[in-house]
């Protein structure tokens, strides 16, 4: 048993369906050792913030245009993470590349979920529907999703867990995306629980 609940921050830029899966994971007892303490978005109209509000979790939006450079943005983000005493940062469709201030402060404590079987179909520009389009274009018979640690190399941090799905003949990127997303919603909460259970807190 942990001496206290681990404080999670979820960073999201869009609808936040993986955020919803994480919140459900806490409520349903899949994640037993942690709570989502804050949701932070770089888009003030992100539906993820509404999801947070509906479940009584504080949501914060931070605009990149308010800062001179990416590092200044991330220094402010780090300040917010520290205000909420965050232990682990979870990326859930966060459309920004984290820079040194956050990466160094949370070394080996930032997780991301990616909609392919990394190291395939990862890296700069590979996000959202583009990933599924490239998977289908390649003729790969299998795709899936990956939870990994985040470091300076985009989508190249140590892999924590993966789940796979078959790519069917004639399948559209949208159909593949829906199948992969279902797996993401199961894999992310389970992997987060396993990860935090091993943390020395």
The catalytic residues are 114
Strand ranges in 15-57 using DSSP code E only, listed in sequence order: 34-41
* 7: helix, strand or coil: strand
With 0-12 / 13-18 / 19 or more C-beta atoms within 10 angstroms meaning exposed / middle / buried, residue 44 is exposed
Question: Could you count the other beta carbons within 10 Å of the beta carbon of residue 33?
Answer: 18
Q: How far from 157 is each of 19, 102, 185, CA to CA, in Å?
A: 21, 15, 20
H-helix segments, 17-128: 17-27, 47-54, 70-83, 100-105
């Amino acid at each position: 048993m942990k001496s206290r609940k681990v404080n999670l921050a979820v960073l999201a830029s869009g609808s936040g369906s993986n955020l919803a899966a994480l919140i459900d994971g806490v409520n349903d007892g899949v994640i037993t050792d942690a709570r989502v303490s804050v949701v932070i978005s770089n888009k003030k109209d992100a539906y993820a913030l509404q999801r947070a509000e509906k479940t009584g979790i504080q949501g914060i939006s931070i605009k990149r245009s308010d800062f001179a450079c990416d590092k200044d943005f991330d220094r402010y983000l780090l300040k917010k993470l520290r205000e909420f005493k965050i232990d682990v940062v979870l990326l859930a469709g966060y459309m920004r590349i984290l820079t040194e201030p956050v990466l160094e402060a949370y070394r080996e404590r930032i997780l991301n979920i990616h909609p392919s079987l990394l190291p395939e179909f990862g890296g700069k520009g590979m996000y959202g529907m583009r990933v599924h389009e490239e998977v289908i274009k390649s003729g790969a018979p299998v795709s899936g999703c990956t939870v990994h640690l985040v470091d300076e190399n985009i989508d190249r941090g140590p892999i924590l867990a993966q789940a796979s799905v078959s790519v069917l003949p004639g399948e559209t990127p949208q159909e593949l995306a829906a199948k992969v997303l279902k797996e993401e919603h199961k894999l992310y909460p389970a992997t987060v629980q396993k990860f935090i259970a091993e943390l020395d807190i």
